[in-house]
Amino acid sequence: MPASLSSPSASAASAGCGASRCGGTASQIDALDSPLRQKVQDHPCYSAEAHRHFARMHVAVAPACNIQCNYCNRKYDCSNESRPGVVSEVLSPEQAVHKVLAVAAAIPQMSVLGIAGPGDALANAERSFAVFDALARRAPDLRLCLSTNGLMLPAYVERIVAARIDHVTITINCLDPDIGARIYPWIFWNHRRIHGREAARILVAQQQLGLEMLVARGVLVKVNSVMIPGINDAHLPEVSRVVRAKGAFLHNVMPLISDPAHGTAFGLAGQRGPDAAELAALQDACEGGASMMRHCQQCRADAVGMLGEDRGAEFTLEKIAHLQIDEAAAMQRRVALRAQINAGPGGTGAAEASAAVLPFARAATPPARGVRMAVASRDGRHVDQHFGHAERFHILEVDGEGVRWLGERAAARYCGGEAECGEQDNLLARTVATLADCEVVLCARIGMAPWQALESAGIRPDGEHAMEPVAAAAQAVWHALRDAGRLTAAPFEDQKRA
């Protein structure tokens, strides 16, 4: 469980961790409970590092839902919590268990089994828990997670804990019932259908209570929100702030999908979704709250494989029906592979891998402004790459409170060998342009030409921290800049404009 959720030394206000491979000082990393590291380091949805190495699958055993959302057409599956299109097969719990074991035998990267619909996992509680309970016995190395609208969450918290489900995602689109009334036309509650504002009031209350109860029991909670322009977009920063204060570990703001062809109430009414810029701006506005997740792929409720791929077609019921599975051998392969990945190239085990997630404590008044940095790192943990060899840069926001990983940016690879020499100037200029909003570039080594190009662009190259852990290096650079009095001036962007 996260330190920030369970440790008395961490206040609720400091809760929230980044889905980042970089960040935080060594002491911050040490302060993390190792169970939290273990919970996220091989979960592709929670750790930006893990999503390259580990696979997940969803099993569609939960067709029923107990609320109606205006962004969902029940005829076709939920278009926002799982991507458009009918779930290929609604599985019985027995079929689902067999499918999970078959996939986990064929894909040793399988680390996570989730139940995310196509309805609501807890509106189908008996079916969902039948799968979880069987897998806890037969594939105890798999992490279990579920996704819910939260309506029935308080009633099932104890069962979730007993089933050793360590990640729960709650879709929370609002705190204000008046806003909720525009998103949820009705809920099914206490054997009755309830409409309008009262429905939204009950749903919001159950979601918030469920969040609090899960955090109190040490279950990792991610919050999903669907961004609906004109309805909840201005409200979501407040949602982010509140769920973070209550201990949510990640906040994932997703764009409304409202193609009229999906037949949702929003789609038919012409409610638009946000464009990429609006979504990014809202995610930025929410950054002060729960750490934002930016690699979400809005997977289907029956997705199989690495994030962003779907190998579901390889594992249809027909294809796996008569498959004989050596469950013990399959588990051994998974455990061995996981150990190998977590050790990493040159990695030193759990402590290094833990850099994947960090608490991001916030002081009341930032002592100096933050600095955006780009880091050339091959293993994602150390400043271990030559500037010219970097195919991508990790972008960090560093300030006195910690380090946040903002994402990755592909570089134009300018040092590609003799054959590309004629292209070098052009490629270098393109790479520098890619990093224009960064103030510092950390790398293991850098040649004269790129050094000068970066400096001319107002970017400070730094090769002084070669092979050091990324977070520690970034913090050291930030402290040096602050001590030199360079972080009291206007933000970098304003300086550049001036």
Partner 1 sequence: MALAITEDCVRCWACLPLCPNEAISAGAAGFDIDPQRCTECVGDFAAPQCGEICPAEGALVDAWGHALNPPGSLGGAPVAAAAPAPGPRPGC
Name the site residues for partner 1 (rule: CB under 8 A): 63-66, 68, 70, 74-75, 90, 119, 123-124, 126, 181-182, 185-186, 188, 191-193, 196, 228-231, 255, 257-259, 265-266, 269-273, 275-276, 298
* Separation CA 56–CA 54 (nearest Å): 7
At 225 the three-state DSSP class reads strand
What is the bridge-based pairing of β-strands 192-195 and 186-189? Answer: antiparallel
**Minimum CB–partner distance for residue 162 and partner 1 (Å):** 20
Least CB distance to partner 1 at residue 306 (A): 19
186: helix, coil or strand?
Answer: strand
Residue with Cβ nearer partner 1 (107 or 228): 228
CB of 41 to partner 1, least distance (A): 29
For residue 357, the tally of other CB atoms under 10 A from its CB is 32
* Minimum distance of partner 1 from residue 185's CB (angstroms): 4
Q: How far is the CB of 212 from partner 1 (least distance, A)?
A: 27
CB closer to partner 1, 78 vs 100 = 78
Plot region of 477 (φ>0 → left; ψ -120 to 50 → alpha; else → beta)? alpha
Which amino acid, 271? Q
CB of 265 to partner 1, least distance (A): 3
By C-beta, is 82 or 109 nearer to partner 1? 82
Compute the CA torsion angle 132, 95, 301, 150 (nearest 10 deg).
-40
The DSSP-derived string for 294-313 is -------TT-EEETT---GG
Q: Which is nearer to partner 1, 197 or 333 (CB)?
A: 197
> Residue 13 and residue 21: Cα distance in Å, rounded?
22
Which one, 200 or 213, has the nearer CB to partner 1? 200
Tally Cβ neighbours within 10 Å of residue 415.
Answer: 18
- CA-to-CA separations, 157 to 67, 163, 172, in angstroms, rounded: 19, 10, 17
For residue 252, the minimal CB distance to partner 1 (Å) is: 14
> In this complex, which beta carbon is closest to partner 1, that of residue 122 or of residue 443?
122
- Report the nearest approach of partner 1 to the CB of residue 164 (Å): 24
Element (H, E) at 193: strand 192-195
CB-wise, 67 or 306, nearer to partner 1?
67
CB of 282 to partner 1, least distance (A): 14
Q: Kindly provide the b/e burial profile for residues 144-176, where b requires at least 16 CB atoms within 10 angstroms of the residue's own CB.
A: bbbbbbbbbbbebbeebeebebbbbbbbbbbbb
Q: Which residue's CB is nearer to partner 1, number 26 or number 269?
A: 269
DSSP state of 90: P
- Rounded-to-integer distance, Cα 187 and Cα 91, Å: 25
461 SS3 class: strand
Q: Shortest gap between Cβ of 84 and partner 1 (angstroms)?
A: 8
| 110-115, strands of its sheet edge to edge | 250-255, 220-227, 167-171, 143-148, 110-115, 55-58, 304-306
Q: Cα–Cα distance between 498 and 485 in angstroms, integer? A: 19
Q: Which is nearer to partner 1, 261 or 433 (CB)?
A: 261
Between residues 24 and 255, which has the closer beta carbon with respect to partner 1?
A: 255
